[in-house]
């Protein structure tokens, strides 16, 4: 997958308002799987995503800095790429794909900045998911 040049610019350009960082089409597909909400599918998926973040983010923090571990960066970004997309966090998923490619190719220039941007987007997605759960009927 080619890297989106916009992802390689400043984070601030990719920062979306919290309300729009989740794709409505992806959320609608999830709602279709549990139309009445009786199985609490969205709640369970959000909980699993949150637990995944709780496990992966400390790994990422430990892999950064002077002892940069590209294999950990690649693993975390790969895992978050698909799980974020499934929840409709498409910009975050694209950022993760770009970071995964950078880590796979050993491209260090700009990697720390991209990781910082990813962490900012994760914070936005968490806020949006919390808001989504609060507004669910």
**How many Å is the maximal CA-CA distance in the chain?**
50
C-alpha separations of 39 from 32, 46, 86, 99, 125 in Å: 12, 13, 18, 34, 23
In the DSSP assignment, the letter for residue 65 is G
pLDDT at 66: 87
pLDDT at 5: 44
pLDDT at 9: 52
pLDDT digits (tens, 9 = 90+) for 44-90: 999 999 999 999 999 999 999 888 999 999 999 999 999 999 999 99
pLDDT digits (tens, 9 = 90+) for 77-123: 999 999 999 999 999 999 999 999 999 999 999 999 999 999 999 99
Best CA proximity match to 102, nearest among 39, 6, 8, 32: 8
pTM: 0.85
Distance, CA of 74 to CA of 96 (rounded, Å): 9
Contacts of 63 (CB under 8 A, 6+ apart): 69, 72, 73, 76
């Amino acid at each position: 997958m080619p890297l989106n040049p916009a992802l390689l610019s400043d984070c601030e350009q990719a920062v979306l308002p919290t309300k729009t960082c989740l794709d409505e089409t992806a959320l609608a597909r999830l709602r279709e799987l549990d139309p009445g909400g009786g199985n609490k599918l969205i709640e369970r998926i959000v909980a699993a995503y949150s637990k995944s973040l709780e496990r992966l983010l400390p790994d990422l923090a430990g892999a950064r800095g002077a002892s940069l571990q590209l294999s950990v960066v690649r693993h975390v970004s790969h895992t978050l790429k698909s799980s974020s997309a499934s929840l409709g966090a498409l910009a975050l998923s694209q950022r993760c794909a770009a970071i995964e490619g950078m880590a796979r190719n050993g491209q260090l220039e700009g990697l720390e900045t991209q990781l910082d941007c990813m962490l900012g987007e994760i914070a936005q997605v968490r806020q949006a998911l919390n808001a989504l759960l609060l507004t669910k009927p």
